[in-house]
Amino acid sequence: MSKLDWFKEAKYGLFIHFGIYALPGGEWHGVPSPHGSEWIMKNMKIPYSEYKELAKKFDPKSFDPYYYVRNAKKWGMKYLTFTAKHHDGFAMYDTKVSDYNVMNTPYGKDIVKQLADACAEEGLTFCIYYSQMQDWEHPDGEGNNWDFDPEKKDFKRYFYDKCIPQVKELLTNYGKVGMMWFDTPYDMPEELCRELAEVVRACQPDCLINSRIGYGYGDFREVADNTIPVLSRRDVWESPMTMNSSWGYIKRDKTSKSSADVLQNLVRIVGKGGNLLLNLGPDENGLPPKVCTDALDSAGKWLEKYGDSIFGTTNIPNFPYLLPWGDLTYSAIRKTLYFHVKNYPAFPHRVLLTGLQTKVRSVTLMYDGSKLKYSQSYEPGRDEHRLYVFLPEVCPDPDDTVVAVELEGEATAQTI
């Protein structure tokens, strides 16, 4: 048993970026902010005295924690990560450390608490995002050089007066926390990163820490935003992704990843050994864009039927070839390889897997449970293993046709 077990099994989580930046929604007095609506204060150098006025209007009347928690479950997600404090420094919970928090808004209710309780009740793992270095409200926090003179900053004052006490509150007042999700450590001194990790571990020894705490003090690797590694990896990792162009709500963006995009990203990430943390940015009323939740609904329906090809699977580390037709996931327990056929072959209707050494027992089309023909061979001269699977003429599922290949033993792949 390792404390990483739940995370390795989870595969898919919901990220929520919600803060007072939802009110401007990526525009300040009609001028669009260049990127990421949660960065508007810094992007547009909005004085703190002006930005903080947003708190006086923050009243997300439609925010319902159960909406997010129950839907996350329905969409197939196993954990939820919420922005307790983003770079703007505003706390979305009842903190005694700073008045700059959600209790001092017309809404006046602790959002972290509501989500933590709903997660505990519904059996979803609750995780907390906390921006440990950037804090644009605190005179000594990193990032705000338009209100506060960088020469006069004493980062340690911010660190000990706000960051550490807030992290302690979050790990003391909200029950079991699955993970602390830190972000943008920049050039934070290594000893402070270590100290922060020690504080987390002292409060909740089983709480995971992502690698953005800095200097390798995390428990697993957070890859760069919206990326997928090229190679299948042996370590534990997560890829955070947006559904549209921003983390926080952005009014002018009416786009969304489609359900096919979501599934392709999920399959690719899981097939390379990682987790997908997929983001929604609720609007000022506390509701996520419908175009995004529609896509998650469809992806969730697909996962209800084909969940076995994702959950309970791992990757085959260092599988040597790219597959022109799609991706592979693998369940060691079921001794089954799953072919995710995204680019359905027009002619001939078959896919080839090169490099699999293990003997195949049977091949099933998950769409209807029918058995498919296959042929497996080994050519000693070239030292090549080949497996052909013959598919129906008509593509059963354009989003992802899944073929379950049951093996006689543990899957092993040739090294090349």
- Binding span for ligand GLC by CB under 6 A among 36-44, 308-316, 327-335, 406-414: 36-44
**Of the candidates 43, 104, 173, 184, which one interacts with ligand GLC according to CB under 6 A?**
184
Sole residue written with tokens 């309780």: 117
| Contact in structure between 168 and 199 (CB atoms under 8 Å) | yes
Q: How many CA atoms lie within 13 A of 348 on its CB side?
A: 6
- Binding span for ligand GLC by CB under 6 A among 31-39, 139-147, 191-199, 301-309: 31-39
Please give the sequence-ordered ranges of beta strands (E in DSSP) within 350-400, or none if there are none: 350-354, 360-365, 374-379, 384-390
Please give the sequence-ordered ranges of beta strands (E in DSSP) within 169-325, or none if there are none: 179-182, 208-209, 221-222, 237-242, 274-280
| Contact in structure between 37 and 281 (CB atoms under 8 Å) | yes
| Lookup: tokens for 223 | 């890859």
**Of the candidates 25, 26, 89, 240, which one interacts with ligand GLC according to CB under 6 A?**
240
Those residues whose C-beta lies under 8 Å from the C-beta of residue 50, and which sit 6 or more positions away, are none
Residue closer to ligand GLC by CB (options 136, 159) is 136
| Lookup: tokens for 256 | 């969304």
- Residue 249 touches ligand GLC, criterion: CB under 6 A: no
**Of the candidates 121, 190, 198, 225, which one interacts with ligand GLC according to CB under 6 A?**
225
Q: How far is the CB of 247 from ligand GLC (least distance, A)?
A: 5
| Contact in structure between 179 and 98 (CB atoms under 8 Å) | no
Which of the residues 345 through 364 are near ligand GLC (CB under 6 A)? none
What one-character DSSP code corresponds to residue 93? S
Q: How far is the CB of 184 from ligand GLC (least distance, A)?
A: 5
- Residue 253 touches ligand GLC, criterion: CB under 6 A: no
Residue closer to ligand GLC by CB (options 17, 272) is 17
User: Does residue 350 sit in helix, strand or coil?
Assistant: strand
Residue closer to ligand GLC by CB (options 39, 100) is 39
CA-to-CA dists, residue 242 to 113, 163, 232, 319, 373, angstroms: 24, 26, 22, 28, 39
Alpha helices, H only, 179-328: 190-203, 259-271, 290-306
**Of the candidates 21, 38, 133, 315, which one interacts with ligand GLC according to CB under 6 A?**
38
Q: How far is the CB of 394 from ligand GLC (least distance, A)?
A: 40
Q: How far is the CB of 86 from ligand GLC (least distance, A)?
A: 6
Residue 264: phi and psi, rounded to 5, are -65, -45
Strand partners for 28:
31
Counting residues that bind ligand GLC (by CB under 6 A) gives 9
| Lookup: tokens for 353 | 């897997």
Residue closer to ligand GLC by CB (options 289, 326) is 289
Residue 39: phi and psi, rounded to 5, are -95, 10
- Residue 36 touches ligand GLC, criterion: CB under 6 A: yes
**Of the candidates 58, 126, 247, 325, which one interacts with ligand GLC according to CB under 6 A?**
247
CA-to-CA dists, residue 211 to 156, 191, 236, 296, 315, angstroms: 21, 15, 11, 27, 21
| Contact in structure between 282 and 56 (CB atoms under 8 Å) | no
Q: How far is the CB of 129 from ligand GLC (least distance, A)?
A: 7
- Residue 18 touches ligand GLC, criterion: CB under 6 A: no
Residue closer to ligand GLC by CB (options 42, 340) is 42
Q: How far is the CB of 222 from ligand GLC (least distance, A)?
A: 8
In the complex, residue closest to ligand GLC by CB: 240
Q: How far is the CB of 408 from ligand GLC (least distance, A)?
A: 42
Encode 257-286 in three state secondary structure: CCHHHHHHHHHHHHHCCEEEEEEECCCCCC
Residue closer to ligand GLC by CB (options 97, 223) is 223
- Residue 183 touches ligand GLC, criterion: CB under 6 A: yes
- Binding span for ligand GLC by CB under 6 A among 34-42, 48-56, 104-112, 306-314: 34-42
Contacts with ligand GLC, residue ranges (CB under 6 A): 17, 36, 38-39, 183-184, 225, 240, 247
